[in-house]
Amino acid sequence: MLSHEAKQGDALLNRCSYVGRFAPSPTGPLHFGSLLTAVASYCDAKANQGQWLVRIEDTDIPRIFPNSEAHILSCIDAFQFEPDAEIIFQKDRFEIYEQVLEQLKQCNAIYACQCTRKMLGSNHIYVGTCRDLNLDFADQAIRLKVADQQICFEDRLQGLQCSNLQQDLGDFVLKRRDGIISYQLAVVVDDYLQGISHVVRGADLLDNTARQIWLGSLLDYPSLSYMHLPLAMNDQGQKLSKQNLAHALDITQAAKLLQQAILALGQATVELDQPRIMLQQAVQQWDINLIPTGLHLSGTYL
């Protein structure tokens, strides 16, 4: 009994401290928008005496872009970020996600869905067609049941966010018919297993958060703190993304790019130096009240 209590105490201690992460997907090379997320998550963790972890979110194997994993790793190196634990790769963790699906199946939180993309059509809200059909799980998509209730959280930058998953989305997919584990499932499980306490990421993921909070609550995982950063836009008014052909980060220009990223985040300027030194200074000066508010940055980026 004593040892059990001691263990719980340790877990509590871990959960109270700050553990942040940077979790890029290798669906293309890192771009300036990814650098903003890396810098903000790093500085926020370090300014709060926290740990900073890196996780490669490569569950969507068909969308993995050749060599982008190597580019991510070379950027971490070139920008002299120092993760506090070994980098983990989601593609090595399918057994873990399958175990969690089994756990959700036991408590009747998920079901198999045979609807094809064609059957779903342009309707963005899944109406629960297969919810009570008790279909066999083999070779079908797996959906998580949602409830008709408001899910709210206080984002550190974007303020109070609320959504009703049933009305806005419907039961959502945790595993695709082709076996690919959804981003939602992998991110929730790994944030929990890595002991993440604080999520700092781009505002393009803001509307994923309610799904992740809902799934985490069903699994009895502790709740997380969220901060969604304004997105860097190109001169066409599109967010920087692999789809919009954002420039890959040029690792030979690491110091200059790092300086630009720190400025884009509204922080006090940092002299050009070794990236490690620049990051140290950015951590000392880090002030989230200076980060521009809203969903987009006002300047344009390549």
Q: Where is the binding site for Zn(2+), in residues? A: 113, 115, 126, 130
Task: Report the alpha-carbon distance of residue 111 to residue 219 in Å, rounded.
Answer: 16
User: Phi-psi region for residue 170, left (φ > 0), alpha (ψ -120 to 50) or beta?
Assistant: left
Closest CB 115 distance from Zn ion, rounded Å: 3
Task: Considering the complex, state which of residue 113 and residue 213 has its C-beta at the smaller distance from Zn ion.
Answer: 113
Binding-residue pattern over the window 87 to 116 for Zn ion, x denoting contact by CB under 5 A: --------------------------x-x-
Among 130, 165, 254, 278, binds Zn ion (CB under 5 A): 130
CA distance 69 to 72: 5
Q: How far apart are the first and last CA of the chain?
A: 58
Residue set of the binding site for L-glutamate? 21-25, 57, 183, 201
Of all helices (H) and strands (E), which one includes residue 68? Answer: helix 68-78
Residues 6 or more apart from 236 whose CB is under 8 A from it? 244
Cβ proximity of 23 and 196 under 8 Å: no
Q: Which is nearer to Zn ion, 74 or 114 (CB)?
A: 114
Residue closer to Zn ion by CB (options 119, 290) is 119
Tell the smallest beta-carbon distance from residue 129 to Zn ion (Å). Answer: 4
Query: Binding site for ATP: what residues are annotated?
Result: 242
Alpha helices (runs of H) in 145-264, residue ranges in sequence order: 165-168, 183-193, 209-218, 254-264
Q: Least distance to Zn ion from the beta carbon of 172, Å?
A: 11
Give dist(CA 262, CA 106) in Å, integer: 47
Q: Which is nearer to Zn ion, 130 or 146 (CB)?
A: 130
How many residues bind to Zn ion according to rule CB under 5 A? Answer: 4
Only one of the segments 2-10, 86-94, 127-135, 265-273 lies at the binding site for Zn ion (rule: CB under 5 A); that segment is: 127-135
| Residues of this chain that bind Zn ion (CB under 5 A) | 113, 115, 129-130
